[in-house]
Amino acid sequence: MLVVNLIGIGLIALIIWWFWLYRPGNGVAAAPGQVIEVRVRDGVYEPSLIDAIAGKGISLKFTREDETACAGQVIFPELGIQKELPIGRPVVIRLVPPEPGEYAFHCQMGMYRGILRAHSG
Amino acid sequence: MAELQTHRLALDGLRCAGCVSRVEAALSGVDGVTQATVNLVDRTATIQAPASVSAGSLIAAVQAAGYDASPVQGLENIAEQQAGEERHMRTLLRRFVVAACAGIPLLLNMFFDFLPAAQEQAAIWLLIGLLTLATMLYSGRHFYIGAWRGLRHHSATMDTLIATGTGAAWLYSMVILLWPAIIPASLAGMAGHTWFDAALVIIALINLGQALEVRARGKTSESIRRLIGLQASTARVLRDQQEVDIPMAEVVVGDVIRVRPGEKVPVDGELLEGSSTVDESMLTGEPMPVRKQVGDRVVGSTINIAGSFLYTARHVGADTVLAHIIEMVKNAQASKPRIGRMVDRVAGVFVPTVLIIAVLTALIWLNFGPEPRISFALVAAMSVLMIACPCALGLATPISLVVAVGKAAEFGILIRKGEALERASKLTTVVLDKTGTITTGKPVVTDILADDPDQLLRMAAALESGSEHPLAAAILARAGDPAPLACESFQAIAGQGIGGIVAGQSLLLGNMALMMAHGIGMDDGWRDRMQALAAEAKTPMLLACDGRIMGIIAVADPIREGAQEAIAGLQAQGLKVVMLTGDMRKTAEAVAARVGIRELFAEVMPEDKDATIASLQAAGEVVGMVGDGINDAPALSRADVGFAMGAGTDVAIASADITLMRPSLDGIVVAIALSRATLRNIKQNLFGAFIYNSLGIPVAAGLLYPIAGVMLNPMLAGAAMAMSSVTVVSNANRLRLFRPEG
């Protein structure tokens, strides 16, 4: 039973680390003015981590290939951006991360998740 | 020279004419741009530039100037979107049927035992296991792929829960078939039971639930589909003196179009020849047909009733009023009110939390549960994974909003943002601007007191023909044809009236002060009549001819039809109704009394209107301001909710939070009632979804077992989960039945 319990506790620790604590290394680097293509497919944004420079504008071109209704919108809560993503029709979102830090983006239910990481120039 | 392309951008953040010139300058500054025009009315920019200039660079230029822009999209993509939804639903139903056909016989076997026991014929059951896997991969492929990709990206979704639950059921079943010895002898009996049926039935039910949800969601966008459906498909255009039918996509600005009785007006334009009455109810909600004459604006998708006419196309495609309405409705549907934001935070941590609860549940059953512990642990953990439904939570707010915003559009009410709807439900005070809101804003002659009223009107019209005062328009309109007599030596005396010589007679038209200033005697009878008219909120004017008073002509801004009932309706909703006007207190009081308003602010200069709103807010009121959207812009934006009362199909005033396309105060009553109904609906959804999850998860985990000795079957949990989203969407769909009271 001890082994089973240890496995269970290990599993919980793994869930916490994998979904909440894990901080990815390098994302896709976006140069100022560059257009980064983001695919919305099978429950994820690809890429889901984008590195940008604070104060410089970038464009994210979202293409939704996922028919699940959940994928219908992308929201950048800190930047006040909310866009509808029609299936198969690219939607370009231009944004300027105002200061260094992490800006999350997600679907309307917060399950498709991505991070825009702004570094100081 | 390179061929020029036309780009169209939808602009955001434009407030004034100054913004227009800044954006135009920014766009003109982009290399290669030959022409850039910004339309403040529909908030678009039209740019001529060589093909080498990308839309991205134009948008970047607009953003650098401090505004936002995006390419204008046509209407067709919504139709495509619907076709996509339809396909998606069919796919889901197919997956449901396949999984159900495989799962139901296995489920029935549990009761009728027509298959040999697994312990006796392991080979048959291994084959069933492999067939189950194949079916799971066919019908539930999207869950497994989604879960796997999510896992790789450190994100957990609904798919994670479904894939983990059904995957665990299959894996456990295969293990007991292949290595029955793994299960200790003490756990025989129920532990020997496979869970292939559960995995299949759950996948079937969730596919069915999603298909029902797609269908119910389709209904939620019925209003927008109806709007899209309003579009005509062809237009009869004059080309080389011939009338030819061409598809809508080929109609260009400047085309002369023929519309016959009963036909739809294809695009927006200006009437060129002929006259008719046009039914605009589909856009404005106004049931009365509108008379159209040469020079009048006609709007695409409205229906020509009586005459045949020719008109010039002025706006086509995504530029039309209909396209703008659709765009606005779509944008509002996609916006998120504050009430939904808390849910976002919950949803973000929901799935991993459920995974942890499932593991904990299994551990508790394994440690403390009765025998067979493994079975109990598996059943409970699977049920937890299956019953948890973040979708119901996530859907609760947006789905109601989609229905409500669409519903509002049906009443000719355009809502700019979901937040406006939320705030409208909390209003405590509604401030109504007088001119143009409570009244029509178009003064008319109401009384002519004279021995010969026609003669008096003719003389007044002759005098007024040189004046640009709004009252002059009323008198001239009343006099009608023939053209007024010529007036010589016209003079306007500020604050008093006008004077001049008509047909050799010296005329004066104005207030009592004007008469006194010219030494014209007035008996008490005239005085009393003047005062009586003023007390009725009219503007009376005396007309004197060669030093003798001939009569009184009174002009008033008529109160809108139904204003009194609408104000009573607002008061019945528990709202305080306040009138705000620049007019003299006496006139204002007379109007207020007639429409049943008890509180008013009179003699307020236009620039002080927003300060008045601010003072009400400071007193703790949540204020809705109703105005014409042009003169009241600052007050409208200061108010918690700004309502702009539209002049028909003019969406120029779309800058307000809520725009009433029909110039009638009923719209306010409907908008507020709808906002309250929507908020109530959202709260029901959120409450239901929270209660469902917070009761469902403990029950699934087996909390009832120690008390009542029952465990939730994972298949039932899956069914409950599938139905919870459908319930939320169906509840939101109830808003489609919203009817304003009375």
What pairs with residue B315 in β-bridges?
A: B268
What is the nearest CA distance from B331 to chain A, expressed in angstroms?
Answer: 8
Chain A CA closest to residue B87? A67
| B288-346 residue pLDDT tens | 788 888 988 898 888 898 888 999 998 888 778 888 788 777 777 766 677 666 666 67
Q: Do B345 and A110 touch (CB under 8 A)?
A: yes
pLDDT band at B183 (very low <50, low <70, confident <90, very high): low
Question: What does the mean pLDDT of chain A come to?
Answer: 84
* A1 with B366: Cβ contact below 8 A: yes
The residue of chain A with its CA nearest to that of B159 is A43
Contact B20, B14 (CB under 8 A): yes
Q: Band of the pLDDT at B430, cuts 50, 70, 90?
A: very high
Q: Which of B84, B352, B398 sits opposite A20 (nearest CB)?
A: B352
Angle, CA of B239, B245 and B247, to the nearest 5°:
105
d(CA B124, CA B116): 8
Query: Å from B564 to nearest chain A CA?
Result: 40
Query: What's the whole-number mean pLDDT along residues B434-453?
Result: 85
Taking the CB of residue B374, how many other CB atoms lie within 10 A of it?
21
Confidence of residue B12 (pLDDT cuts 50, 70, 90): confident
Residue B281: C-alpha distances to residues B290, B302, B304, B437, B661 (Å)? 9, 8, 11, 20, 10
Interface of B with A in 134-153 (CB under 8 A): 142, 145-147, 149-153
On the CB side of B724, CA atoms within 13 Å amount to: 29
Alpha-carbon distance B250 to nearest alpha carbon in chain A (angstroms):
23
Residue B643 reports pLDDT greater than 80 = yes
Among the options B433, B632, B650, B666, which is catalytic? B433
Tokens coding A36: 């980064």
Cβ-defined contact of B155 to A48 (cutoff 8 Å): yes
In sequence order, the β-bridge partners of residue B553 are B448, B541
Nearest-CA distance from A120 to chain B in Å? 20
Enumerate residues 54 to 83 of chain B having a beta carbon within 8 A of any beta carbon in chain A: 56, 59-60, 63, 68, 70-71, 77, 80-81
Q: What is the pLDDT of residue B239?
A: 84
Which chain B residue has its CA at the smallest distance from A108's CA?
Answer: B394
Average pLDDT, chain B: 83
Cross-chain Cβ contact B360/A8 below 8 Å: yes
pLDDT of residue B723: 82
Q: Which sequence spans correspond to the domains of chain A?
A: 25-119
| Structure token pair of residue B46 | 């039209």
Task: Give the integer Cα–Cα distance in Å for B403 and B194.
Answer: 44
Of B153, B391, B394, the CB nearest to A48: B153
Residue B425: its pLDDT value, please? Answer: 93
- Report the 10 Å Cβ neighbour count for B214: 22
**Cα–Cα distance between B233 and B86 in angstroms, integer?**
22
The pLDDT tens digits of the residues spanning B387-421 come to 887 777 777 887 888 889 888 988 888 888 888 89
Q: Min CA distance, A76 vs chain B (Å)?
A: 12
Tokens 């899956």 belong to residue = B718
More confident residue, B520 or B571: B571
Residue type at B488 in one-letter notation: E
Residue B739 has pLDDT above 90, yes or no: no
Task: Look at domain A25-119 and name its CATH class.
Answer: mainly beta
Measure the CA–CA gap between B47 and B58, rounded to whole angstroms.
Answer: 9
* CA torsion through residues B231, B232, B234, B237, sign: negative
* Residues of B with Cβ-Cβ distance to A15 under 8 angstroms: 352, 355-356, 359
pLDDT in tens, A79-91: 878 788 887 778 8
Is B666 tagged catalytic? no
Res. B65: pLDDT tops 90: no
| Chain A partners within 8 Å of B142 (Cβ) | 42, 68
- Whether the predicted pLDDT of B73 surpasses 70: no
Q: Assign B640 a pLDDT band (cuts: 50, 70, 90).
A: very high
For residue range B184-210, list pLDDT tens digits in order. 554 444 445 788 988 999 899 888 888
pLDDT over threshold 60, residue B646: yes
**pLDDT value of position B188:** 43
Query: How many angstroms separate the CA atoms of A67 and A89, rounded?
Result: 12
Residue B157 has its nearest CB partner, among A9, A86, A111, at A111
Whether A82 and B366 lie within 8 Å, measured CB to CB: no
Assess whether pLDDT exceeds 90 at residue B675: yes
d(Cα B512, Cα B519) in Å, to the nearest integer?
Answer: 11
Stretch B242-270: mean pLDDT: 87
Between A30-44, B42-56, B582-596, the lowest mean confidence (pLDDT) is in: B42-56
Structure tokens belonging to residue A1: 């039973």
Residue B64 is predicted with a pLDDT of 79
Whole-model pTM: value is 0.72
Nearest to residue A67, comparing CAs of B391, B139, B91?
B91
Name the band, by pLDDT with cuts 50, 70 and 90, for residue B135.
Answer: very high
User: How many CA atoms are closer than 13 Å to the CA of B373, on its beta-carbon side?
Assistant: 16
